[in-house]
Chains A and B, each alone.
Chain A
Amino acid sequence: MLEPLVQNLAFGLLVGALYGLAAVGLSLVFGVTKFLNVAHGELLMFGGYASFWIFTLLGIDPFLTLASTIVFLLVIGLVLYKLLFARMVKLTESVKIQNTLLVGFGLSLILQNLALRLWTADTRSITTFYSGSVFTLLGVRFPIVRVASLVIALVTLLALDMFLRRTYTGKALRATVENWEAATLMGIDIQRVYLLSFVLGAALAGVAGCLVSVGYSIDPVMGMNWTLKGLIVMVLGGLGSITGTFVGGLVLGVTESATGFFLSLTYREVVGLVLFVLILVFRPQGLFGTKEG
Chain B
Amino acid sequence: MLKIEEIDAYYGDLQALWGISMQVNEGELVALVGPNGAGKTTTLRVITGLLKPASGDIHFYGHHLDKVAAHKIVELGISQVPEGGKIFTAMSVLENLELGAFVASARKVKDQSLQWVYEIFPRLEERKNQRAGTLSGGERQMLAIGRALMSKPRLLLLDEPSFGLAPLLVEQIFAMITEINRQGVTVLLVEQNVRAALELAHRAYVIENGRIVGQGTGDALLSFESVRSAYLA
Q: Which of A174, A182, A190 contacts B86 (CB 8 A)?
A: A182
A101, CB-defined interface residue at 8 Å:
no
Q: Which of A177, A181, A186 contacts B99 (CB 8 A)?
A: A186
B107, CB-defined interface residue at 8 Å:
yes
Contact B71 A189 (CB under 8 A): yes
Contact B50 A168 (CB under 8 A): no
Interface size on B, residues (CB 8 A): 28
Contact B71 A188 (CB under 8 A): yes
Contact A240 B71 (CB under 8 A): no
Contact B80 A185 (CB under 8 A): yes
Contact A171 B90 (CB under 8 A): no
Q: What mask results when residues 95 to 135 of chain B are scored 1 for a CB within 8 Å of chain A, else 0?
A: 10011101100010000000000000000000000000000
Q: How far is the CA of A276 from the CA of B72 in the complex (A)?
A: 42
Contacts of B75 in A (CB 8 A): 187
Q: Which of A181, A185, A186, A240 contacts B90 (CB 8 A)?
A: A240
Task: With CB as the reference atom, state the residue of chain A lying closest to B87.
Answer: A182
Q: How far is the CA of A137 from the CA of B99 in the complex (A)?
A: 47
| Contacting residues of chain A (160-191) with chain B, CB-CB under 8 angstroms | 168, 171-172, 174-175, 177-179, 181-190
Q: How far is the CA of A89 from the CA of B89 in the complex (A)?
A: 24
Contacts of A179 in B (CB 8 A): 86, 88
Contact B71 A190 (CB under 8 A): yes
Say yes or no: A186-B50 contact (C-beta < 8 A), given A168-B107, A181-B82, A181-B86. no
Q: Which of B73, B82, B102, B148 contacts A172 (CB 8 A)?
A: B102
Contact A182 B50 (CB under 8 A): no
Q: Is the interface of A mostly helix, strand, loop or mixed?
A: helix
Q: Which of A168, A175, A184 contacts B88 (CB 8 A)?
A: A175
Which size bracket describes the interface of A in this complex?
10 to 19
Contacts of B87 in A (CB 8 A): 182
Contact A185 B98 (CB under 8 A): no
Contacts of A183 in B (CB 8 A): 99
Contacts of A185 in B (CB 8 A): 48, 70, 73-74, 79-80, 82, 86, 148
Q: How far is the CA of A2 from the CA of B48 in the complex (A)?
A: 65
B91, CB-defined interface residue at 8 Å:
yes
Contacts of B102 in A (CB 8 A): 168, 172, 186-188
Contacts of A240 in B (CB 8 A): 90
B151, CB-defined interface residue at 8 Å:
yes
> Closest CB-CB distance, A73 to chain B, in whole Å?
27
Q: How far is the CA of A184 from the CA of B88 in the complex (A)?
A: 13
Say yes or no: A184-B71 contact (C-beta < 8 A), given A171-B99, A172-B99. yes
> Closest CB-CB distance, A290 to chain B, in whole Å?
11
> Closest CB-CB distance, A278 to chain B, in whole Å?
27
Report which residue of A172, A178, A190 has the largest number of chain B beta carbons within 10 angstroms of its beta carbon: A178
Task: With CB as the reference atom, state the residue of chain A lying closest to B91.
Answer: A174
Contacts of A175 in B (CB 8 A): 88, 91, 99
Task: With CB as the reference atom, state the residue of chain A lying closest to B78.
Answer: A185
Contacts of A184 in B (CB 8 A): 50, 70-71
* 10 tightest A-B CB contacts, nearest first: A187-B74, A182-B86, A187-B103, A186-B102, A189-B71, A178-B88, A184-B70, A187-B102, A184-B71, A175-B88
Identify the A interface with B (CB < 8 A). Answer: 168, 171-172, 174-175, 177-179, 181-190, 240
- The 30 sampled A-B contact pairs (Cβ below 8 Å) are A168-B102, A171-B91, A174-B88, A175-B91, A175-B99, A177-B90, A178-B88, A178-B90, A179-B88, A181-B82, A182-B88, A184-B50, A184-B70, A185-B48, A185-B74, A185-B79, A185-B82, A185-B86, A185-B148, A186-B99, A186-B103, A186-B147, A187-B71, A187-B73, A187-B102, A187-B103, A188-B71, A188-B99, A189-B69, A240-B90
6 extra interface residue pairs, beta carbon distance < 8 Å, beyond A178-B89, A185-B74 = A171-B95, A171-B98, A172-B102, A185-B86, A186-B147, A187-B74
